[in-house]
């Protein structure tokens, strides 16, 4: 007898899922939820599973939010064709390059989506992926739906924790904090991917298997490893560690991008506990934006990021 499996299996996050489903089953479901945690841990998959449950997908045995690929609702979701689910992500420009931000026009389209009645008589669900990729105008536009939520509307906001969530947004949402995966769950995810060395990759991604595709090149691997080593040694990093970090991050644009992500994620987590580190995060974001917009050499931008960290430790 064959066992039906979920189209989108869940790895980790069982407690967070139970918390949401308990709220849903109790009839006291908040209209907006921040799904928060580091990148690469499956937050989008987790959220889509919750959305499928609200939209009426039938769960498989043993998985209360996991519908099979044969389920009619899940089929529409997987085909990005469900009329009551809108997944908002960064778009590409005319040259096929991913834009830096989710635009205010995209958020206004989402707000308009919520003014319509559910096409299939249930919920209207929006998924903003992610808060980290939104500018000031698009963030302000989100407040319209958060302040005046329509009936039977649900908004999920993904946060990778690389940017502090605005208090005006956080105060209007419930938050589910997801953690990096266990070693066993990380390995299980990596085994489903086409990787040359899943064992060494498991050690590098540190519970964030979704980052494996971004860490495929040797230069990128070296930059990520250098960032992690530098952050562990701060504030007592020696000249050799600092030089190696800048050298690795300066190899090319992708290496710097991974290096900056590691640093900003670390600073953001620190800012959640120590608010005055938020200014360090904003300074880092400005450095990254300058590197992109002004085509600053990656090594120069990496040196600025490291200098910003050193100054922050020296003055706090």
Which one is predicted more confidently, 146 or 194? 146
Mean pLDDT of the chain: 91
Percent of the chain exceeding pLDDT 70 equals: 98
When pLDDT is averaged across residues 179-202 and rounded to a whole number, the result is 85
Q: What is the pLDDT of residues 71-99, one digit of tens each?
A: 999 999 999 999 999 999 999 888 888 88
Looking at the predicted structure, is the pLDDT value of residue 1 above 50? Answer: no
Q: How confident is the model at residue 174 (pLDDT cuts 50, 70, 90)?
A: very high
CA distance 216 to 29: 40
Q: What is the Cα–Cα distance from 131 to 138, expressed in whole angstroms?
A: 9
Judge whether residue 244 has pLDDT over 70. yes
DSSP symbols for 53-79 = HHTTPPBPTT-TT-B-TTSHHHHHHHT
286-300 mean pLDDT: 86
pLDDT surpassing 90 at residue 247: yes
Distances (CA, A) of 120 to 33, 54, 150: 22, 12, 16
Instruction: Please give the pLDDT value at position 245.
Output: 95
**Is the pTM above the cut of 0.75?**
yes
Look at 37-46, 123-132, 259-268 and tell me which has the smallest mean pLDDT.
259-268
Task: Identify the residue whose tokens are 């105060």.
Answer: 171
pLDDT of residue 198: 66
Q: What pLDDT is attached to residue 56?
A: 96
């Amino acid at each position: 007898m064959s066992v039906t499996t979920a189209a989108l299996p869940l790895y980790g996050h069982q407690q967070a899922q139970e918390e949401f489903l308990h709220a849903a089953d109790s009839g006291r479901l908040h209209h907006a939820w921040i799904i928060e945690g580091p990148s690469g841990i499956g937050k989008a998959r987790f959220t889509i599973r919750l959305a499928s449950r609200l939209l009426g997908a039938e769960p498989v045995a043993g998985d209360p939010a996991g519908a099979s690929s044969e389920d009619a609702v899940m089929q529409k979701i997987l085909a990005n064709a469900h009329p009551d689910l809108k997944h908002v992500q960064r778009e590409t420009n005319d040259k096929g390059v991913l834009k830096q931000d989710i635009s205010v026009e995209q958020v206004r389209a989402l707000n308009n989506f919520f003014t319509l009645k559910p096409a299939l008589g249930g919920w209207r669900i929006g998924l903003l992926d992610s808060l980290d990729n939104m500018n000031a105008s698009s963030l302000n536009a989100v407040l319209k739906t958060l302040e005046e939520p329509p009936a039977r509307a649900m908004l999920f906001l993904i946060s990778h924790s690389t940017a502090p969530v605005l208090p005006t947004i956080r105060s209007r949402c419930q938050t589910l904090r997801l953690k990096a995966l266990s070693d066993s769950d990380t390995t299980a995810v990596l085994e489903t991917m086409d990787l040359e060395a899943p064992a060494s990759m498991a050690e590098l991604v540190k519970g964030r298997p979704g980052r494996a595709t971004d860490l495929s090149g040797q230069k990128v691997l070296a930059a990520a490893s250098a960032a992690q080593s530098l952050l562990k040694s701060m504030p007592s990093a020696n000249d050799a560690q600092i030089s190696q970090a800048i050298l690795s991050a300066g190899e090319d644009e992708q290496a710097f991008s991974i290096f900056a992500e590691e640093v900003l994620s670390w600073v953001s987590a620190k800012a959640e506990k120590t608010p005055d580190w938020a200014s360090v995060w904003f300074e880092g974001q400005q450095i990254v934006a300058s590197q992109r917009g002004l085509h600053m050499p990656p090594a120069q931008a990496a040196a600025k990021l490291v200098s910003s960290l050193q100054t922050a430790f020296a003055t706090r």
